[in-house]
Amino acid sequence: MNIFEGKDLRVVGRLFDRSLDQLVITFTGRAAAPPVAKGFGENYLIKRQISAVHFISKDNHWWQTAELRQAIDEVERLGLIQNRGLTLYGSSMGAYAALMVSGRLKPKRLILFSPQFSIDGKRVPFEKRWRNYAAKLSFDYDDMAACVDHDAEIKAVFDPHYEPDTRHIDLIEQLRPLERIAIPFAGHNTARALEELGILTQVTDALLSGNFDKNRFSRQYRSLRAGSSLFWHGFSEALEQRRHAAASTYTAMLAALVMSNSGRMNDPVLRRDILRRGMAAACELELPIFARNWLSVLEPLEKHPYQVSYFRALLARAENNWPLALSEATAASNGSPDSPVFLALKLEAATKCGEAAGVLLYCDQHTTRVRRSGALLLAQAMASAGMQQWQATLDTLKLVFRYDRRNPRARALAVHCWIALGRPEAAEKQLAPVLQFDLPSPQLAAEIRTLLANGGSRGPAKRYEQRQTRNRERFNALVTELGGLDWKIWPAQIPDLRARHPVSRRSAPSALS
């Protein structure tokens, strides 16, 4: 049933029994390639034979259009919402729309996945994710305080560890109460995480019927979440923000492993993002066989050839094929000349290929912003060390430590400089900031252990080696177990990772607790 058709949106109805007292009104979220063909949750609601009216956006306009009011006028004129218990249902941009029309429609409840308070930079200066969309909007219809309903029941599903979404929830809650439903480490993709775990339909049934049991859901999600690539991916991002570098690397690798084995993640953008982090992690962990397999899957998902070149360069670096790494990193930096990460990899490869002098000259040709990035400074320090300019290397490393005093590669390089300057006993002091943390690279961990021992710190060297070995064994056990699951019956096989793979807060997935 076509209800409204405009330039910015259209509205369709799927009515199964007009005598029923339940109607769900849905709003589509942001689309990678608008317009979308169907309403949010339309297939699910048809399958359940639940009457619904779907507001479908034709662009990512965050519902800043006068047509939204016109469409609601038409829905009311047709008498579709009279004498019905309304539920408003949406995710992200669609959840925002549900909140903004709730004051007019007076629903019984709102089911919201990862809602926003606004994306207007004046109202939410912390929100940087959709600035390209916000820059095109006038925000004439963006007064949440005036538009939100104060009587309806609101259930907001979100990731409490994902700061941007949590801040939106806080702002909404300042206006009126809501019930928080936590899906830890799903990031902004809460509905997709439940879909990946195979429980989205069950959870939505309970939410729409009013029979949702939050405690029961929390237990269920906790028992299944290890089977979600989005869980591991979001976990990795949260750990990175908290500067747990090794644990972030481990979990990024696990996200790609789960995704590639389970075959349950079909969204191309999410697949690409998970594979990017997973490939980088596999290279850092010196597991190039995984990276090579994932590269073939990642290549068709990348829009730009220079992105592919970068990941080929990472793989060549992990395999110590420095000429190939230099060639591919050069292609990547040519495609994106202002990327410090691409450029740093190119300069590292050039140094390994015996071109350290040229690297130092090349560094001076770039803008101050690029030259002063942590990645490029470390590449410059490596080139100085390649020229045996030990004091110059230390001076550059001091700048690196302003960005990240716990950078293990920079710390190891500093020790090499002090040894060359006749100060091997400086090893323990220089390495102190990184000794209490796990390192994803076995080669780098072995190098640091040797530097400690040669500097006379044999006790710390032994303890450091034991810690690295223990944590690496735990990670390998996780990889083996997740890689060996039969994903056709995986819910029955997902291990209790908290009990079977206890891991320390500084080394690997602490938030499994």
Q: Which tens digit of pLDDT belongs to each residue from 45-92?
A: 999 999 999 999 999 999 999 999 999 999 999 988 876 789 999 999
Task: Tell whether 486 is covered by a domain.
Answer: no
Interacting residues of 265 by C-beta distance below 8 A, sequence separation 6+:
192, 196, 229, 230, 259, 271, 274
Q: What is the pLDDT of residue 32?
A: 82
Tell me the CB-side half-sphere exposure of residue 207, using CA atoms within 13 A. 27
Task: Tell whether 419 is covered by a domain.
Answer: no
Residues 156 and 234 placed together within one structural domain of the fold: no
Domain end call among 303, 321, 345: 303
Task: Note the pTM of the prediction, 2 decimals.
Answer: 0.89
Residues 184 and 56 placed together within one structural domain of the fold: yes
Domain end call among 274, 303, 332: 303
Residues 235 and 170 placed together within one structural domain of the fold: no
Task: Tell whether 508 is covered by a domain.
Answer: no
- CA–CA separation, 56 and 67 (whole Å): 11
- CA–CA separation, 256 and 265 (whole Å): 10
Task: Tell whether 81 is covered by a domain.
Answer: yes
More confident site: 165 or 261: 165
Q: How many domains does the chain have?
A: 2
Q: Which residues of 30-50 are buried (b: 16+ CB within 10 A; e: fewer)?
A: beeeeebeebbbbebbeeeeb
The average pLDDT across 413-420 equals 93
Residues 91 and 120 placed together within one structural domain of the fold: yes
Task: Tell whether 458 is covered by a domain.
Answer: no
CATH of the domain at 31: 3.40.50.1820
Can you give the residue range of the structural domain that contains 159? Answer: 2-225
pLDDT, tens digit, 9 for 90 and up, residues 375-402: 889 999 999 999 999 999 999 999 999 8
What pLDDT band is residue 367 in, cutting at 50, 70 and 90? low
Domain end call among 225, 249, 271: 225
Q: Among 165-174, 246-255, 394-403, 452-461, which stretch is predicted with the lowest mean pLDDT?
A: 452-461
Q: Which of 397, 419, 418 is nearest to 406 (CA)?
A: 397
Residues 275 and 197 placed together within one structural domain of the fold: no
Residues 162 and 52 placed together within one structural domain of the fold: yes
Indicate the SS3 state at residue 154.
strand
Residues 86 and 219 placed together within one structural domain of the fold: yes
Task: Tell whether 27 is covered by a domain.
Answer: yes
Q: Identify which of 293-307, 351-365, 445-459 has the greatest average pLDDT.
A: 293-307
Residues 201 and 274 placed together within one structural domain of the fold: no
- CA–CA separation, 401 and 403 (whole Å): 5
Residues 101 and 174 placed together within one structural domain of the fold: yes
Residues 219 and 298 placed together within one structural domain of the fold: no
What pLDDT band is residue 503 in, cutting at 50, 70 and 90? very low
Residues of the chain above pLDDT 70, percent: 93
Q: What are the C-alpha distances in Å from 342 to residues 244, 302, 308, 375? A: 23, 16, 11, 9
pLDDT, tens digit, 9 for 90 and up, residues 233-287: 999 999 888 888 888 999 999 999 999 988 889 899 999 999 999 999 999 999 9
Phi-psi region of 85 (alpha: psi -120 to 50; beta: other; left: phi over 0): beta
Backbone φ and ψ for 390, nearest 5 degrees, come out as -65, -45
**Do 289 and 316 contact (CB within 8 A), yes or no?**
no
Task: Tell whether 237 is covered by a domain.
Answer: yes
Indicate the SS3 state at residue 192.
helix
Task: Tell whether 368 is covered by a domain.
Answer: no
Instruction: Name the average pLDDT for the chain.
Output: 89
Residues 77 and 42 placed together within one structural domain of the fold: yes
Interacting residues of 436 by C-beta distance below 8 A, sequence separation 6+:
506
**Do 189 and 233 contact (CB within 8 A), yes or no?**
no
DSSP H or E stretch at residue 344: helix 340-352
Using a CB cutoff of 8 Å and minimum separation of 24, what contacts does 390-397 make? 390/417, 390/420, 390/421, 391/417, 391/421, 393/417, 394/418
Query: Does 314 have pLDDT greater than 80?
Result: yes
**347: its two tokens:** 């300069």
Query: Does 497 have pLDDT greater than 70?
Result: no
Backbone φ and ψ for 38, nearest 5 degrees, come out as -130, 165
Under DSSP, the state recorded for 273 is: H
Residues 221 and 235 placed together within one structural domain of the fold: no
